[in-house]
Amino acid sequence: SQKIEQNSEALNIQEGKTATLTCNYTNYSPAYLQWYRQDPGRGPVFLLLIRENEKEKRKERLKVTFDTTLKQSLFHITASQPADSATYLCAPHRPDGSGNTGKLIFGQGTTLQVKP
């Protein structure tokens, strides 16, 4: 069955450093991979999407890579700030055989703590 794995342990880094979060998947060939941010007591918020034919995507201080050979996506936050502290979820998906968009499958999330 499809399996999504993210760093289960919290990631603690110092303000100003680059945070790198990993998303690995098995038994799956996603066409897209989305990253969401979730703050305590709130629903996830969409951040970035990368397609299987894109190696890298950037948005302000965020960068996502997608390696279909390694079956892995990396999510980077450069010049991290305490306000970046949250749980980050990856969600790969691909259109299903019926011609629909398909179903998102969420990883368990990685909690990032940025210390001042």
Partner 1 sequence: EAGVAQSPRYKIIEKRQSVAFWCNPISGHATLYWYQQILGQGPKLLIQFQNNGVVDDSQLPKDRFSAERLKGVDSTLKIQPAKLEDSAVYLCASSLDWSDITSTDTQYFGPGTRLTVL
Residues interacting with partner 1, by CB under 8 A? 4, 32, 34, 41-46, 49, 89, 91, 93, 95, 99-104, 106-109
Beta carbon of residue 16, minimum distance to partner 1 (angstroms, whole number): 28
DSSP states of 40-103: TTS--EEEEEEETT-SEEEETTEEEEEETTTTEEEEEESS--GGG-EEEEEEEE---TTSS---
> Toward partner 1, which CB reaches closer, 47 or 74?
47
> Toward partner 1, which CB reaches closer, 65 or 78?
65
> Toward partner 1, which CB reaches closer, 28 or 106?
106
